[in-house]
Chains A and B, each alone.
Chain A
Amino acid sequence: MNLSAGWIIFYLLVFPGFLFTTVVGLVYVWVDRKVTARVQFRVGPPFLQPFFDFFKLLGKDTFVPEGAPRSIFFGAPILGLASVSILSTVLLVSNFFPSQAFGGDLIVVLYLFAFIPIILIMGASASSNPISALGGSREMTLYLAYELPLLFALATIIVKSGGQLKIGDLLNWQWANRPFLYSVSGAFAFVSAFLCIQAKMGFVPFDIAEAETEIMGGIVIEHSGPVLGVLKLTKAMLYFVVSIFLTIFFWGGFRMPVKGEWWHIFGWLKPIAILVLMVLIKNTNPRLRVDQALRFFWSIVLALSVIGFILAAVARSAQTPILWL
């Protein structure tokens, strides 16, 4: 891999980093709101609504609560934005140019994914509001709940591909054989990873940390104006990033299983399909309590991912690796 500094900056800031993810992420927020509205037999907001919201928040005042450390209060959202930009850059560069990725980028992705709840907890506890501190502690509990099943799900696909730690190699394996989703162990891993991502996004039934109707937005309750705008933008970019995360690791990236370059355009519909599935689950379930969520993740979801892991190990240890298992 030999990239000039100019290209790295272009990747990070324009495509597929910050700017691209911003635009696509805001469009994904619109998809979420529109699907939600249609489920409730409403019309829903216009296409540009998330952009209006963002620009409006940039133009409003910001209050710093009394007793809040300014550096963390303003710094946390910016760190979150930066980490999501890097995350989307690493994921998409591996998808489009698998040869330009670096070794062990899977580990980097996992670390950056873990960084986002930490940012939220920092921002919440920096706002010196008891309700947002409550939201922060719930976010932490939830993070402890879903992290282990998520790691097991990823370990499953690593074992299945024969120990690849590069996202590009994982993708090449899927293109050469079959996407992980279309095998028994991969399907188990996908279901548990999907539920973990649902919790990471703070979607119902795991919106325990934000709980609009209970603790009034929880972690973001004290943020206003541009600070809130940046937090919302981070969340919007995360919509896109988690969708491509699941697509790349389980569904063979943006490539379609047909011959011909132009068919791959339709690969862009895969992350949208995953998003719509998440939104439908979000709209048809009630919120769990944090202890219920913890029990759910540490029993059912963990069991699913461990079963997937064992199946993958069995499939790998056969004379010729069994692809469908």
Chain B
Amino acid sequence: MLKGIKKGALTRSLWVYHVAASPCNNCDIEILDLLTPRFDVERFGILLTGSPRHADLLLVTGMVNKKVLDRVLRVYAETPKPCVVAAFGSCAISGDLFVDSYNFAGPLDKHIPVDVYIGGCPPKPEAMILGVVRAIEKVKKLKDL
């Protein structure tokens, strides 16, 4: 029963930390749409936090370049488990138009386990909410809880 309470509480209160891994800033602006009156994800307990120590969901935006890779790995290590990772936007998923760049360190899931993919350049708010729903489903399936 204790596990049930833990899991239920985690699915109803996902706190998001936004990892900017060299994005073009477009995804970052779109994330804030979710907090506006029109979409208001606080209805589902989702909050943006300022520190990875408080986070349950890491939203990684941007093409992960060689310079920022260390920081992404470090933020992932700093996040208390259980946590889920979302690759946000085409860049984090595949590199998009930076795929041939000398500085491109490979798609995000090459470096850290990614649970949710949210596509788009930038993703629409509807796509982000779908991603959040998938993240919650993922949390429900987590075994180490």
Chain A positions within 8 Å of B, measured between CB atoms, are 33, 37, 40-46, 48-49, 51-56, 58-63, 212-213, 216-217, 220-225, 228
Contact = CB atoms under 8 A, between A and B. Distances in A.
Top 9 closest pairs, chain A to chain B, by CB: A216-B50, A59-B6, A55-B9, A61-B80, A224-B53, A56-B9, A42-B40, A52-B12, A52-B13
B6 A221 contact: no
Interface in B3-62: 5-6, 8-10, 12-13, 36-37, 40, 42-43, 45, 49-51, 53-54, 56
29 contacts: A33-B42, A41-B37, A42-B36, A42-B37, A44-B40, A44-B42, A44-B43, A45-B45, A49-B13, A52-B8, A52-B9, A52-B12, A52-B45, A55-B6, A56-B9, A56-B10, A56-B12, A56-B13, A58-B6, A60-B81, A60-B82, A61-B81, A62-B80, A216-B51, A217-B49, A221-B50, A221-B51, A222-B51, A228-B53
Nearest to A211: B50
**How would you classify the secondary structure of chain A's contact residues: helix, strand, loop or mixed?**
loop
A135 to B, nearest CB: 11
A221 B49 CA distance: 10
Contacts of B37: 40-42
A212 B50 contact: yes
A149 B53 CA distance: 36
A49 B54 contact: no
Given A43-B40, A59-B9, A228-B54, 6 more contacts: A42-B42, A43-B42, A49-B45, A56-B6, A60-B82, A225-B80
Contacts of A56: 6, 9-10, 12-13, 56
Nearest to B6: A59
Given A55-B6, A221-B50, A63 B78 contact: yes
A94 to B, nearest CB: 35
Interface in B63-99: 78, 80-82
B145 interface: yes
A60 B144 CA distance: 11
A6 to B, nearest CB: 30
A45 B54 contact: no
Contacts of B13: 49, 52-53, 56
A312 B40 CA distance: 49
Contacts of B51: 216-217, 220-222
B24 to A, nearest CB: 22
A41 B37 CA distance: 6
Contacts of B6: 55-56, 58-59
A251 B68 CA distance: 56
A42 B82 CA distance: 29
A59 B10 contact: yes
B18 to A, nearest CB: 12
B120 to A, nearest CB: 24
B144 to A, nearest CB: 11
Contact of A63 (B5, B10, B80): B80
A63 B81 CA distance: 10
B53 A43 contact: no
